[in-house]
Amino acid sequence: MTDLATRAAPERAPALRRAAPALLGYAAVRALGLVVLAVWSAARGKSAYTLLTARWDSLWYTRVAERGYGYEVRLPGGDVHSDLAFFPLLPWLERLLHALTPLAHADAGFVVSLLASLAAAWGIFAVTEQVYGRRAGVCAVLLWAVLPVGIVQSMAYSESLFTALAAWALYAVLTGRWAVAGALAALAGLTRPVGLAVVAAVWAAGIASFVRDRGAADAHGAHAGVRAPSTPTEGPLGRVPAPDGARGISRASSAVERALGLLLAPLGAAGYVLWVGHHTGRGPLGYLDVQAGWRNGFDGGAAFARFVAEKFTSVPGALAGAGIVLGVGLVIRLYVVCVRRRQPLPLLVYAGVVTVLALCASSYFGSKPRLLMPAFPLLLPPALALAGLRTSRSALVVGGAAVLSAVYGAFWLNGSGPP
């Protein structure tokens, strides 16, 4: 065991050094956002820390961590807001950290979010470096950091935790670690409903891999021999094996590992949804009833389209409506570019499902930028463009975007904030 640890340590160190510029840049952007938020909040007589840890969804997560499930609010109109709408992994981690340290549950949620955001940044770097190289990986992380709603990455919300699990699950798929990918997908499914996107990505890649192997077997015959393994590369988790089918292992072993990953992937989301159905006595679709109590569901984007159309009934609203239309158009355009540039299948499936679920939800329209934040593969085309600039120019672009993001985040949280 000691020899294995000794061998693994030198492999991890270069990986961390490669990711260091991305992580340091990410930490600097987030620190700027927190400083601006603290100054802005103090000027308005508010607590920045309270805005980050004890408002909106973070209150629901903290309550679950402290008391378990079972709390609901009945509104005058008849709607029922139940804490069962919130998936359990973040509250579980808050409870665990509270048990191990003197931190209160809300403080534990903040720490989990900070650590998860760094893990997410590293995961985004790992995925992007694997596909497009180190410089693009750094740029992708910085672009994710300077998103207008990037301040959510530092809140006691589940977005950072989910993005970390999703990014590393995608990296595991890209590097042929199917069991790890399935386990991470299961954890992502315990974090947010959009965990289905990670499950879909793992399944799509796994099925495509099985089909590819079957086609290769048909083409070359049962006695075509085993191809020589390609040279492994260095990755954030140590030595990265060559892609499936060229790893110098038997096809049967690879198929078993892939099958295990596919079986593990949906267990988290399915387990929680089935538990909610049993807990409420409403059967397998009980979670949909819980979401309906929040007036949330999937309607193909009809409600969102009506919301946007209503904006054009007044001049100020028309400006906001035009901005929303441009924003949605940009998101769709980025996805089209991702498809045209032939991003790996798991990235396309993941980003596509996250985007569809975010844009086609029937409620909480102001949350859509936040719901789109985990769709980091959409940032890879602009990351490539940014990586093509001179370092001084790219630093100027990122620096300006970081300032704007920090100011907007402080304004947003001190105003309506994320619902």
Question: Residue 24's Cα: distance from chain center in Å?
Answer: 20
Give 121-133 pLDDT, tens digit per residue: 999 999 999 999 9
Q: Are 346 and 171 in contact (CB under 8 A)?
A: no
Please tell me the predicted confidence (pLDDT) of residue 301.
82
Region 2-10: what's the mean pLDDT?
39
Please tell me the predicted confidence (pLDDT) of residue 13.
57
pTM: 0.89
Distance CA 161, CA 374 (A): 10
Please tell me the predicted confidence (pLDDT) of residue 241.
41
Region 344-352: what's the mean pLDDT?
97
CA distances from 411 to 26, 39, 408, 414 (A): 21, 11, 5, 5
Please tell me the predicted confidence (pLDDT) of residue 416.
78
Please tell me the predicted confidence (pLDDT) of residue 218.
62
Please tell me the predicted confidence (pLDDT) of residue 417.
75
Region 371-386: what's the mean pLDDT?
97
Distance CA 162, CA 31 (A): 21
Q: Are 70 and 193 in contact (CB under 8 A)?
A: no
CA distances from 368 to 117, 305, 418 (A): 19, 13, 10
Please tell me the predicted confidence (pLDDT) of residue 406.
97
Distance CA 31, CA 135 (A): 22
| Residues constituting the chain | 419
Region 72-87: what's the mean pLDDT?
90
Round the CA-based radius of gyration of the chain to a whole number and report it: 22
Q: Which two tokens stand for residue 192?
A: 């947010």
One DSSP character per residue, 362-383 reads: SS-GGGHHHHHTT-GGGGHHHH
Is pLDDT larger for residue 236 or for residue 401?
A: 401
Region 2-31: what's the mean pLDDT?
73
Please tell me the predicted confidence (pLDDT) of residue 8.
41
Average pLDDT, the chain: 87
Region of poorest pLDDT, from 212-226, 227-241, 375-389, 397-411: 227-241
245: left (phi over 0), alpha (psi -120 to 50) or beta: left
Give 197-214 pLDDT, tens digit per residue: 999 999 999 999 888 877
Region of poorest pLDDT, from 155-164, 284-293, 398-407: 284-293
Distance CA 45, CA 47 (A): 7
